[in-house]
Structure 1
Amino acid sequence: MKILYVDDNEQARYLLETLLKAKGHQITTATDGEAALELLDRQSFDMIVSDIMMPQMDGFMFCHQVKKNPRLAGIPFIFYSATFTQPEDIKFALQIGADRFLIKPTPPEEFLLELDAVASKSSGRSGAPRLSLDETAFLSGYAGRLGKKLESARLRLDRAQASLTGVRLELEATQRKLFQLADHSSDGIMIVNRDGRILLNNPALLKQFNVISGAAGQMQLGDIFPKEQCDRLLSLLDLQAEFSSQDFPDIVLTNGACVTVTASYATYRGQHALLILLRNVQAEKQLNEQLRLHSHIVENLVEGVFVTDAENRIISANAAFTRITGYRLEEVSGKNPRVLKSGSQDLTFYQRLWNALLTQGQWQGEIWNRRKNGEIFPEWLFISLVRGTEGEILFHVGIFSDMTEHEQARKNIEHLAHHDPLTDLPNRTLLRYRLNEAIHQAGRNRYKTALLFLDLDRFKLINDSLGHFVGDALLKLLSQRLRDCVRQTDTVARQGGDEFVIVLAELGKKEDVYRIINKVLATVGEPAFIECHEINVTCSIGVALYPDDGGDDVTLLKHADSALYSAKNEGRNNYQFYSAQLDKEPERRLIMGNALNKAVERMELRLVYQPQVRMSDRAVVGCEALARWQHPELGVVSPAVFIPLAEETGRINAIGNWILRTACRQATLWQRPGGPAIRVAVNLSAIQFRNPALLQTIKDILKESGLESKCLELELTEGILMREANNTLDMLHSFKTMGVRMSIDDFGTGYSNLAYLNRFSVDKLKIDQSFVAGLPESRHDAAIVHAIIHMAHSLGLQVVAEGVETEEQHRFLLAHGCDLGQGYFYAKPLEADVFGRMLENSV
């Protein structure tokens, strides 16, 4: 509403104006009825609130003038007064047309309720507005009020007379205080007549300046000053009242003290006299030095400092005040500090502040203020009161520091505590909060919530091949893509590594999830171009639904993780919803992991050997050793399952060493005097390759088995070779020195750099079976295979094609110069004795 408030009390106007503005009302104020009527002539208002006792025109006459004006009579009118509060006065106020009479002070909540009640009643009022009393009735009632007003004036007169008496007594008290001040002053004070006799002096004259005391009225000016100075001072009396005051700096007394003298004309008991003040120059210099030091300290503080007088008007401020607020001292001098008010705190806040300041003498806390340029900023403010000897307030001192950087740092820390530093996605902590919030909302509104666990397929290979910088860039790119796949109400979080979690809130049914999942799979699968590399990546997704698969965050997270594991086992680049059957898989992995720890000791592991044949005549020239695990309860376990499990459980080095030792012993048995050397190829995992003891282990195994080093071939993936290339070169050089042959397995699936490939000095490349499978029909695979063979031969390397299964594939590879082949077309992996007989038959 647009409200006109009439009151001659400035503080009352400010408080009510602050309260009403805080509730969204527009407030215009006036100091009496005449000023208010002028405003009503120019503006329209929705309501009038008025005091009664005011100069010029009081509230009763103002209300009567409003209500007898047809244009203004319909405006709701509320009296808000601390005077004329008797029942007959309130009745008169309502008779002349007021809608309410509220007695000061009324609690803010009650006042606002009364205001709303009057407004509601006014909006529902029908017909003409309620008329004021006629002129005669009003004047009759008003005369009675005037009588009260006169009585009030008489009382004020009596109080004024009493006040005059008080002033007289106060003057007498002031005189006594002046004598007390003189007695306690550090300056020497004396009154001297024309004869040079000291008529009156204070104790400081005797004590501070070492003047010898004489009998009352018998001390002479010559006892203190040299004759020349005495004559000079007394000559001032010839001028009498023509001089008011004169200073004499650096006067030396008879006792050798150096002082500053101020002489003033005075009368004492009807005779002309001099009022002389003696001030110690050295003490004054010391005081001035202290004052300059204090001023320098305050002026150079990084905190803003301001001082206000007893009326809370700014009288001083330092440079930091200007730097922080933007206001120069001359712009705020004489103003209330509320010029900095931002509006961020309500009236209650300031009431508590002032209550603490008045009762405890100080207040400190955080407050939001506004700079000159309009910027709102946080500050830490300390305010204290400076009181006089009688307890009266002399000054308010405020010291404040700009907390903008602190607040920003706090927000940054809070953000970092809840977000992933690489992708800026919510982290685990914020994810749990968002997930619980989504579950709560879904339970209340009967929605579904979907929790998606997403893991990038073969991301480790990208990191190993292209480096962590490219891997991090890919993660940031995919993070943005995932954000674009979901709504603003959904959450995309990063668990760590290449794992992401998506919370889909407020879903109507399960089918709503499919569209988003397919969108995520398609978006993640789009090519990514980073650092001149085209990277194709896919993802696997596990899904759990609320309330179908769990009623709390812990259960949903567990079930989504189980579904993700199932999706990866199904071949990756797909999604799986949780089902109760998946709960058995972790238990199975736990049992398998425990059993794997004893597999070597219990001789459950065995090796089979897949022949490698020369393409030109299909003669067997070597084999690849492949591990198999025959568990008494689990049955045959594929190496694709137990090798990653061995890496996770830390058993890979023990198992890898067993495979190397067993393969070398068996290869020794196949060697025949005068016959060709049969090579056995053994795969090395990344963990084995990083083992510092690997080189010595291989030396020991070769020595123990008696196998020539040239008959052992170690197979490494591109990812292992590309990681920490300098260390890789050192290790490969050591193997080369020993005579062990090296092969790159699954070539073409990674991102090898040809320059590095040449430096690695490997002996053989193995074309990944994924390229061989498409031969000869796929032009794309054919082109890749042809390029690999040509490149390898140009570098002096042999080429082995894996996964050869048909005659057509064999012919294609032979025609393009491939050296060796391996696959079911030639033979499946064989037991050691079967492979031995195959060797005999191939000779």
Structure 2
Amino acid sequence: MMDETTLSLFVLSVSVALQVAAAIMAVRLIRVTGVQIAWILIACAILLMAVRRSITFFHIATGDFVHLPPLNIELVALFISFLMALGIALIRPLFSSIQQSKTLTEAREKNLMSMAQNASDGIWVAVDGLCVFANSSAIEIFGFEADDFMGRKTCDLMPFFVAHLSKKEEGSKKKRQLLDIHEILVCRKDGTQLPLEVLEAEVQWLGQSALMLTLRDVSERKSSQAKMKKLSGAVEQTGDSVFITNPSGRIEYLNPAFEAITGFKRSEAMGKTPNLLRSGRHDQAFYKKMWTMLKRGETFRGVLINRKKTGEIFYEEKTISPLKDEYGHTTHYISTGKDVTARTLSQERLEFLAYHDLLTHLPNRTLFLERLEHAIKRSRNAGDRLAVLFLDLDRFKNINDTLGHELGDQLLKVIAQHLVKCVRVGDTVARFGGDEFVILLEYSSSQADVSSIAKKLLDTLLNPIFIQDHELIVTGSLGISVFPKDGDNPNTLIKNADAAMYLAKDRGRNIYKFYSEEMGKRVFSRLTLETQLRRALARQEFILYYQPQIDLQEGGVSGHEALLRWDCGTSELIPPSVFIPILEETGMIVSVGEWVLKTACAQNMLWWDAGVAHTPISINLSARQFHDQDLVHKIEQILDETGLPPESLELEITESSLIEDVQKAIGIVETLSQMGVKIAIDDFGTGHSALSYLKQFKIDTLKIDKSFVSDIATDPADASIVTDIIGLAHHLDLSVIAEGVETQEQAQVLRDCHCETVQGFLYAHPLSSAQVPVFLKKVSSLI
């Protein structure tokens, strides 16, 4: 057995080893964890115990057993050393876990700071109400320098928000972890106010409890919301119908105007398709074309004929646009519509009048010329023949003079109906004015076929017509020209048919004649007239007369129209209807028109200088003049030479002149308007109506032709048409002049229609330049 000394030595060795190990572990623990000074003292105590045991071990090793402590005491010391080493070994993992948690916390705080610094939103961190961190976005929001933030009180920059926090703290003492998002208004350094969206949260910031505020500038969103609110209000209050559908066409939104226009309530239309408005006036091809455009992402614009809930038809000027998301996919369709029923019906009526005779509703000259032009092209390609028949009623003027114009008009209506029944389907019967009718016969295979129809037309006139207890029998003279023998263009064919018609009259009337060389005398007579015209300008045979234009509302003369006459040495002046067409056809109208411009402008300037009149002068421009490439230069030169202000010159242009070359005409009118010259549309409604182009021109005045004015006091239809024309003009911000006013009744109707200006025999016949001053002195008594 081991003796007591050896056992003590063994116990002592183990005790020393355990104490040394405990000391080493304590030192390592201190180095790793960085614990407090108490652990250093423990380590020292263990080390001292180890030293003490080392001394005891030294005594045993040297044989000094006198100083050795008792064995039982050494065993106790051994046990204590074991417990110390065991305790330190067990504590070390705990402190390692604490160290790892601390390291993780530091990393999180570092990441939090990095994220805060790089965040696009403003980040504000405050400890005890003082700013300890603000990223660049927050600095930019408030407009301060970076150094201005550190240590700054939160309440200095965000008083409204701090007040909000105070109320929350008073209401609840519970610890806040994450609060709801709300908005505040802050004042920037420059004094401007900025709306912010704030998210508040409590965080650990560098080992301290801190309040982190995430700040987001919502000024753009607020502006967008305000715009959306304004837009929404506009859509709700607009007078135009607005509805939005999903991609399948189901209505998801409609505004009050939709209900007012269509008669369908919101509950009746929501979830339905726009088919509930279909009138059946459009075929499937129309809707297919519309949807093809929409599916391609294009906007559809057009006029739809729809049906209201009551069944009433209405015209809607419609715009339908696809709404797309950020990926370009169509999510909805928005439709806006304006009820244009009144305007459309008025335009349709005026368009009808532009192409049809007001009295008989037959095609007028414009429509006839279009059809004849088309027929010539077709016949030329097919090798066919066609015929133009010019019919003039014999002595119709006697009926008007003896029985009155009203009965004469009724007679013309009946004759028009009879003539239409005599021709084939596809042929055209037109009225050119007065008692002149022109017929187009297409697909005419032989002269015998044409003769048969011509005879049938004349025979139908011989049938008695009963009107107002009068039995009337009229005859007619008819001239015929054939394409291509007698002409290859509309004007030539009509002219030669007209010439043949006059030959028929010369041969006894109530007969028809084909154009032939026999008409040479008539042609020769025209050539003689043309020759005389060519010398008329040089011989100073042209004269200008001036017809006053009367201000119907205020009274007085508002201007004069210059009218051309020809004094060729005979007893009477030759009216323009005789020689103007020849001037137009030969091109002499350009030089004669230039003379008219110079003479009229010079005369008006003389009246200005003499104090006689300070009113504009109106001058007609022929189609050839209007399209003369030097027109603008000539007018500028004339105004410069005469000294007449441009605003004192009004140029009257026919509708057909404007639409001959629309783009060129727009440029000419634009240039003249910029000069200050006024533009008027002459004889509105008698030619090719330019309604579709009218708004494109800078026009000042519409002149209503006398054919519309003559019966306005007795015929409600005529009065209605004139009212429509005046209304259209005023809608386009144009003034109106009515020509051919001959009675007080006509003047009163025009005055009631708010027509500004009139001219006609009621007030004055065309006057010579010497008669104008005399007339102006007594004009006040005329109104």
TM interval, shorter chain, is 0.3 to 0.5
Q: Which structure features the higher share of helix residues?
A: 2
- TM-score (structure 2 length as normaliser): 0.40
The TM-score, its normalising length taken from structure 1, stands at: 0.38
Larger Rg: 2
Choose between structure 1 and 2 for higher RCO, CA contacts under 8 A separated by at least 6 residues. 2
